[in-house]
Amino acid sequence: MGDPREAMARARQAAHELGLHPKKRLGQHFLVDHHQLERIARACELQPDEYVVEIGPGWGFLTAYLAERARGVLAVEVDQALAPVLEAALAGYPNVRLLFADVLRVDLEDEVRRAFSLQGEVRFAVCANLPYYITTPIIFALLERARGLQSAVVMVQREVAERLVARPGSADYGLLTVMVAYHARVEMVGRVPAACFWPRPEVESAVVRLVPYRQPPVRVEDEQRFRRLVRTAFQRRRKTMLNIVAAAFEVDKARSAACLQRAGIDAQRRPETLSLEEFARVADCCAP
């Protein structure tokens, strides 16, 4: 169909002619290492008849690798100024559609359906080099609102990746770990050195793969109560569960202790030691 290396050269030439450079305020650090680009595209596990949404294509370097594998690529970019660069880079890929919009403000399933003239339910993958400053909102938007999402391969700051895959009892285990685990299975694909980017960021990156559950792995009677408990727990992670339950549900310590006893949780445990299943059990046992 095309040559990703030629696409990269076309993008660089177009950007040079237009005097464009990566924008720091938008967190634009473009992955330029062909080995890493290939690895990320391969991690998406795309089939020739599948569609993929790329969030933040930048100058289209990864887009070309995705277009080689998928039936269609919808590239969603917030920076309208990049239109001529992307059009030049992706001239050899008729299966790519560009959408200039804030990904947090669009319905991805509707946009894929519209871009490729599809009917009915649409299933798609997501691939993204996420800007560090907006990583968490995008991840939760995908997991909570993106109907039709099959999987997401995202590049994030290494510390964020380590929190996503952390185990109970570790220093990295926290709110992000528990709430993402409620929605999806997470696995580490690998690290990406800062030297693989242009311009070079001050931190290392890593790639993770998220596969949403059709049904959450634990059952909770009230999701709002569950979220409230987890949020309070990691806002007060140095406190014991006795104090956390009391604060989360505005009850006295006697009732908090009774709730934890019903859940089979030692009241003196710290929140970072509780598993997803244990948080769910505590939330259910603390029902009014």
**Taking the model in full, what pTM does it have?**
0.94
pLDDT digits (tens, 9 = 90+) for 134-192: 999 999 999 999 999 999 999 999 999 999 999 999 999 999 999 999 999 999 999 99
Q: Which CATH class is domain 4-212?
A: alpha beta
pLDDT digits (tens, 9 = 90+) for 97-124: 999 999 999 999 999 999 999 999 999 9
pLDDT of res. 147? 93
pLDDT surpasses 90 at 20: no
pLDDT of res. 24? 82
pLDDT digits (tens, 9 = 90+) for 261-271: 999 999 999 99
pLDDT of res. 236? 96
**What residue type is assigned to position 223 of the chain?**
E
Position 10 confidence tier, pLDDT thresholds 50, 70, 90? very high
pLDDT of res. 132? 87
Q: Give me the mean pLDDT over the 250-256 stretch.
A: 97
- Which among 220, 246, 224 has a CA at the least distance from the CA of 233? 246
What is the percent of the chain with per-residue pLDDT over 90, rounded to a whole number?
Answer: 91
pLDDT of res. 194? 95
- Which among 97, 90, 138 has a CA at the least distance from the CA of 114? 97
How far apart are alpha carbons 182 and 226 in whole angstroms? 10
How far apart are alpha carbons 251 and 173 in whole angstroms? 26
The enclosing H or E element of 126 equals strand 124-129
For residue 196, the SS3 value is helix
Position 27 confidence tier, pLDDT thresholds 50, 70, 90? confident
CATH topology of domain 223-285: Helicase, Ruva Protein; domain 3 (1.10.8)
The enclosing H or E element of 145 equals helix 135-145
Domain positions in the chain are 4-212, 223-285
The answer to whether the beta carbons of residues 62 and 85 sit under 8 Å apart is no
For residue 241, the SS3 value is helix
Mean pLDDT taken over the chain: 96
